[in-house]
Amino acid sequence: MRIARVYKKEAVTEADAIDLTLLDPLIKKYKGKKGNVIPLLQGAQELYGFIPRAAFEHLSAGTGLPLSDMFGVATFYAQFRLKPVGKHIVKVCHGTACHVQNANEITEAIEEALKVKDGETTEDRLFTLESVACLGCCSLAPVMMIGDQTYGKLTGNAAVKVIKNIRLAEKN
Amino acid sequence: MSTTVTVGLGSCGIAAGANKTYDKIKALKESDNLDFDLKKTSCIGMCYREPLVEIVDDSGTYIYGDVDAERAIEVIEKHVNQHDPIRDFIVYTDLFDAPENDFMNSQVKIVLRNCGYMDPESIEEYEARDGYKAIKRIIEEKIPADQVIDTILKSGIRGRGGGGFPTGLKWKFAKANQSDEKYVICNADEGDPGAFMDRSILEGDPHSVLEGMIIAAYSIGATGGVIYCRAEYPLAIKRLNIALDQARQRGYLGKEILGNKDFNFDIYIKEGAGAFVCGEETALIASVEGERGMPRKRPPFPAESGLWRKPTNINNVETLNNIPWIVLHGAEAFSKYGTEKSKGTKVFALAGKVRNSGLVEVPMGITINDVIMKLGGGIKNDKKFKAVQLGGPSGGCIPQYLSETIVDYDSVNATGAIMGSGGMVVMDESTCMVDVAKFFLDFTCKESCGKCTFCRVGTVRMLEILERITNREGREGDIEKLEELAYEIKDNSLCGLGQTAPNPVLTTIKYFRDEYEAHIVHQKCPAKVCRPLLTYTVDQEKCTGCMVCLKNCPANAITGERKQPHLISQELCTQCGVCYSKCKFDSIILT
């Protein structure tokens, strides 16, 4: 689902600590190939968790693809992120089955617990809250996914409990 | 015969904890040196009973439901070691009456013939279940391409992705166009919220999709194949990659397939990047080419000028999965199922307020009511069946009184909904139809690619009206305005997304106009979903005076002493619903 990601002003400049040479194998693999924009961007996101501006510029210089083309593609698809995200991405499913079983309650409960809005990242960069269209686990609705783990048959309280446990584990 | 224990490890099973069950059984087997074969399979469709464990021994076949790690210990100990099946936990068996026998036995499995019956990561098991036999027969018996296309035409199969265009005809057009390069694309960009049959097929039976593509390639003379799969389906992509490698090793893919010197064909996977519009043929092609996934004008159709401007044939996962079966069993075996214009079977993803949510495959022509009541087991918590949503954001809501409608393309279209890919979301009396319409419109509005003005701007305007209506600000004339906008959008959009985007609104207005009127005129939400339209009061009998609602009320609208029933001031109340969600004693009444 295309969501409006709300970005807070970043205190950290993104150019710090980005190793652009990591992109070179990608450039070598895809340079000059037909239909290479999406795999290049997917590869870059895999490396950094998002696509930093410097990576766009490096890819463009390396492959000869216009920056505008790459940016156009990156902003079209929901998959691509242009800003850093939290360590854990909390994906709350808002597919039809989850919607009719009150997925809004889950999002609201997490918003309250993490003190962020949908699409935002917590200040400690631990969690990013997102709404997604359908995780395909409709029989377990309402569902959320954190990392590879899917949590089903949730209530607002149960969802918050999961998050609290992760936060606790992170502190220790 | 030895005993085989099989654990269902589809996405739904894993979400329900099947990996833990598998690990537990594996640990038991190893630590106690038990004598049985442990296998993995994929989803058998009974998602509501996951994790599922199947045990096959000398006496017969048994499927155990809801097997968590604890229950696994018990099942292995009793059934495998002591040969004493635990009847209470058995959900399906061929030996006696079990709770889900009806669910399994009233289905006709063509598409799902292998899902849940074999290890999807093993090409040997697929071959043992007649896999790759169809393509082998075509090559060995030198069956001409025209004859294969003819079989597909005669079977009467229509595209299962939603459009319902005859598959054989599509192939015929693609074959007729001469070119040095041609492509076959498998559309696995299943974006409908509420539909998950393609995911289950890819996870459970990836080889049959590949075989379908190989047969399509042979028929139209294609040189290259692409599977465009949603990136949100990591397990499906993993299993497809395994299947591709195995198929290449066995010579089903690559150069000179099965010894036929003129048949070279290979497939690669293209991961989608999360755009619903890419399910549309021409947008999908643009996306494979690495561009923004925006649809193009048709004609020229992809069969003439598709991927890289070459003739291209695009089929949906479920359609392709049917192909090997049709070639192997003949057109008549397929067309004996179904109605005059819709042949074969259809897989539905049952979800929502239905007791048995999961995957079912039924012959075309069965009534919607039968699917929901017989296979779906009726409505959860014995509530009243209100409507069923077919076809996702492009489809519509069919009300209960039309539930005798039969499942075929034309009958479903006549109600204003569409067959779509087969998502069937069941709604009960506690679902607000205005809210559902708003939900779908919100989805299409976000997913509109922005090319056509009516779709880009029109859906936003419609959404604004629906938001007003559900926010106590509905005005007279809103319904008419919605209808007018809906028809403008349908008429002036280039692709399927825009042309069908207003369907959920139009069908809910058609069948549930009174609910819209209740929202606008009486400022009430009959299903008690739209919060701003509700009145909150405290049940004076049930209230224990715990003060939780009072402390949490952001408007300070609640008064009362500890251990005394509270009161809500209707003047101060902002209808936010916090008291309702915080109350542990169900003592907030919604009216």
A94 touches chain B (CB under 8 A): yes
- pLDDT band (50, 70, 90) for residue B243: very high
Residue of A nearest to B437 (CA): A96
- Judge: A37–B423 Cβ closer than 8 Å, yes or no: no
d(CA B372, CA B425): 10
Span B329-336, average pLDDT: 95
Which fold does the domain A88-171 belong to in CATH?
A: Glutaredoxin (3.40.30)
Residue A5 has pLDDT above 80, yes or no: no
Instruction: Find the closest chain B residue to A72 by CA distance.
Output: B292
Of chain A, the end-to-end C-alpha distance in Å amounts to: 34
Give the pLDDT confidence of B108-152 residue by residue, as tens digits: 999 999 998 999 999 999 999 999 999 999 999 999 999 999 999
Q: What is the pLDDT of residues A61-116, one digit of tens each?
A: 999 999 999 999 999 998 888 888 888 989 999 888 888 888 988 999 999 999 99
Which residue out of B347, B436, B447, B581 would a mutagenesis test of the A interface target, given it has the greatest number of A Cβ atoms within 10 Å? Answer: B581
Q: Give residue-wise pLDDT tens across range B59-89.
A: 889 999 999 999 999 999 999 888 889 988 9
Model pLDDT, residue A16? 54
What is the Cα gyration radius of chain B?
Answer: 27
Report, as an integer, the average pLDDT of B48-69. 90
Q: pLDDT grade, residue B230 (50/70/90)?
A: confident
* Residues B184 and B222: beta-carbon distance below 8 Å: yes
Chain B residues within 8 A of A95 when measuring between CB atoms: 193-194
In B330-384 the beta strands, taken as DSSP E runs, fall at: 345-352, 358-363
Say what the pLDDT of residue B591 is: 85
Q: Per-residue confidence at B34, pLDDT binned at 50, 70, 90?
A: confident
Mean pLDDT taken over chain A: 85
Domains of chain B: 4-100 (3.40.30.10), 123-334 (3.40.50.11540), 345-428 (3.10.20.600), 433-520 (1.20.1440.230), 535-590 (3.30.70.20)
Task: Give phi and psi for A100, each to the nearest 5.
Answer: -75, -10
pLDDT of residue B15: 82
CA distance A136 to chain B (A): 5
At B347-367, the pLDDT tens digits run 999 988 998 888 899 999 999
For B437-452, the pLDDT digits (tens) are 999 999 999 999 999 9
* Phi, psi (deg, nearest 5) at residue B11: -55, -40
Residue A8 clears pLDDT 60, i.e. is over it: no
User: Does B274 sit within 8 Å of A77, measured CB to CB?
Assistant: yes
- pLDDT at A101 (0 to 100): 85
The distance of B11 to chain A (nearest Cα, Å) reads 7
Mean per-residue pLDDT over chain B, rounded: 92
Question: In chain A, where are the structural domains located?
Answer: 20-76, 88-171
Q: What is the DSSP letter of B406?
A: B
Each residue of A129-168: pLDDT tens digit? Answer: 988 877 777 878 899 988 878 888 888 889 999 999 999 9
Where does the pLDDT of residue B271 fall: very low under 50, low under 70, confident under 90, or very high at 90 and above? confident
B6: tokens are: 């099989």
Per-residue pLDDT of B154-213, as tens digits, reads 999 999 987 789 999 999 999 999 999 999 999 998 878 878 889 889 999 999 999 999
B566, HSE (Cβ side, Cα atoms, 13 Å): 27
Which burial class, exposed, middle or buried, applies to B205 when counting CB atoms under 10 A from its CB (0-12, 13-18, 19+)?
A: buried
Q: Model pTM?
A: 0.89
The pLDDT of residue B335 is 94
Alpha helices in B431-477 (DSSP H): 433-447, 453-469
Return the pLDDT at A124: 87
- B10-25 confidence digits (pLDDT tens): 888 888 888 999 999 9
pLDDT score of A9: 54
Q: Is the pLDDT of residue B420 over 70?
A: yes
Question: Of B351, B367, B66, whose CA–CA distance to B359 is shortest?
Answer: B351
Does position B105 have pLDDT exceeding 60, yes or no?
yes
Residues in chain B closer than 8 A to A132 (CB atoms) = 232
Give the pLDDT confidence score for residue B381 in this predicted structure.
Answer: 87
Statement: residue B398 has pLDDT above 70: yes
CA of B472 vs chain A CAs: smallest distance (Å): 19
**Interface-testing mutation among B354, B439, B580, with chain A (most A C-beta atoms within 10 A):** B439
- With a cut of 70, say whether residue A1 has pLDDT above it: no
The alpha carbon of residue B336 is apart from the nearest alpha carbon of chain A, in Å, by 32
Give me the helix-helix angle, B503-520 and B453-469, nearest 10°. 30
Q: Please, which pLDDT band fits residue A3 given cuts at 50, 70 and 90?
A: low
Give the model's pLDDT for residue A7.
57
Which residues neighbour B201 within 8 Å (Cβ) at sequence distance 6 or greater? Answer: B111, B112, B115, B208, B209, B317, B318, B321, B347
* pLDDT attached to residue B48: 85
Neighbouring-strand partners of residue B172: none
